[in-house]
Each structure stands twice: as C-alpha cells, then as structure tokens.
Amino acid sequence: MEYRRLGSTGMYVSEISYGNWITHGSQVEQASAIACVKAAHSVGITTFDTADVYAGTRAEVVLGKALKGVRRESYELFTKVYWPTGPGMNDRGLSRKHIMESCNASLKRLQTDHIDLYQAHRFDYETPLEETLRAFDDLIRAGKVNYIGTSEWRASEIEAALKIQDACGYDRFISNQPQYSMLWRVIEAEVIPMSMREGIGQIVWSPIAQGVLTGKYKAGKRAPAGSRATDKKSGANMISRWIRDDVLNAVEHLRPVAAEAGLSMAQLAVAWVLQNPNVSSAIIGATKPAQVRENAKATGIKLAPETMRAIDKALGMLPETDAALNVSPNPRA
C-alpha cells in the first residue's frame, strides 16, 4: 500500500480508503462487514470512512465493532455530519446544535474518543457559515476532532469558508470528499484548481461509478442478480444514470485497455483517479473481503500517457464535466 499526505497536512492516508456507505448495516451482514474491514487492514488500508447517516447510523456501529481492539494510532477514522439522523428539524444540517450532538453520538457509535477527519457532508444554505465553522473549530479545541473537511462543496463555498477561518484564526478545511471517476469529472474545472492553491486534498468516492466501470453490466442485458443496480437499498437510483447502452458499450471498450495495462477493470478505474495529483485517497466499498484485496492492488500504479489517452478515447463525450452539477440539496426541503 502506498500513502499520501492529506492535502497540505502532515497526516498520511492510504491511497486506497475503505468506505461503508451502502454496505455496513444494510446490504451486508455484520459478520461479512467486519471481515471486509479486517481484510482492508490486512492489505495496508489505514483510512476508514463512514458517516452518521449511513444505514441510519448503523454503519458507524458496525465499523466501531470491526475496529475494536485495533491500535487506535494505526488507522485514520473519518466520519461526517449533515444529513438527517432523526425526525426532528434539528436532527440535520450544520447548525451548532446538530454538529455537537452528532459528533458526540458518532464517537459513541465508533467506540473512540476522537475522529481524525470530521466532514461537512454537504453545504447548508440555511445555517450561517460562521456558526458552522465556529462549531467545527470548537470540536478541534476540545480534542474530539483532529482535522475538518467538506464533502461535495463547490469551490466558491470552500473559498468562502477558508476566508472566514483565516480571519477568525480557526483551523482550516484540509480536505474535500467528492464523487470522482472516469465518468464523473465535475470537480476538475473549479474544485481541483482551487484545492491545489489552498492545500486541500480530495478523498474521492465512487471511483468505479457504483460498479459500472467494472464491466459487469452489459448493454441490452438485465443487471446481474444481487448487484447494486437491482437493489434499491444499495444505491440503485444513483447507478441508474449509467445503466444506458451508450455508456455500457463505451465501458466495454475499456476492457482491452485494462488488459494491456495488466489490470482488472476495477483496478484501472481506481488507478485512474489516483493519477490526479490532488487526490489523496480513493474510497472503495465491498461486500466481500476478496473485493477489498483485489481493488487494493490499484495502489502505486502509474498509468502510461498512452493508457490515459486510450481511456479518454474509449469514453468520448460521455464523462460529465459540468461544475454546476456539484450542488448540495437542502436537508429540510
């Protein structure tokens, strides 16, 4: 496993992170989920990402159990706050009340006394940004959080936050967690250049486009039984944007490119996002330990320029690049 600094900080993260967005506590039984975490740790993955909202807070519980007994200093634990975790109007968003209560609840579920990276899961249009940033900084001063970051924020939103943090002497955001893959490149136009200037690293999710870039979905054929595209609980709505014949046929053109590079389709997809120097880590999920071990082999791979060109040629105009699509919905709407 290779490791990279997270943004401009002194903390290193594994190039491949393990995330449990739609697996732990929902799609995968607890025993299998714990086996996946152990497999991740065994191949050198030290960075584990979750969120309070995943599986209705159950994902944090499972991850806490899986990491119990592992030396706390040997891994980096990331979680998030924003989405609803209860029925009340204050059980969501980035108010001081919700941030403080959510952080304390996450610490209990994760069975730890601190979070290495606490992330604002989306931008909150209703809460004053100053209120949010003061709450995050207070968590750092209290020793409950080491670093703070964002997820799916626009470049202008991150810049506004950094300006306030600098003016008030608060600790800065040091990371952003966006969706990023060969097919979804909306961060390249604005977020990446701003992040490079400001010392912010990307921890990208869905590098294999919810499984589409593995090549297991075929044009004109039904999705494999038990796959994400057939399970509404595991992100079927999100993956549906890619289950189109034009996309699936283009993905098939990546198969010889992967073979030429000596990689599986999934490894090629993960390695592709890691070619971006602003990417600190790529998050993978898994339902089986074998998937963790296989995808982790994408670490340290340097794709040749001709391979990168072949990928662009195969996908043509299909990748989404519109920066305006990087938008946060209102959690109270």
| Calpha distance 239→194 (Å, rounded) | 28
Which of left, alpha, beta for 277 (phi over 0: left; psi -120 to 50: alpha)?
alpha
Beta carbons of 207 and 269 less than 8 angstroms apart? yes
3 is catalytic: no
Which stretches within the chain are classed as H helix?
30-42, 58-67, 96-110, 129-141, 155-168, 191-198, 236-239, 245-252, 255-261, 265-274, 289-295, 305-315
Tokens, residue 46: 């030290």
The position carrying tokens 């519980």 is: 61
Beta bridge partners of 117: 78, 147
Burial class (CB in 10 A: 0-12, 13-18, 19+), 329: exposed
| Calpha distance 225→180 (Å, rounded) | 26
- Which of 54, 75, 82, 217 is catalytic? The answer is 54
Beta-carbon contacts of residue 245 (< 8 Å; ≥ 6 apart) = 219, 220
Beta carbons of 110 and 64 less than 8 angstroms apart? yes
Residues carrying an active site annotation: 54
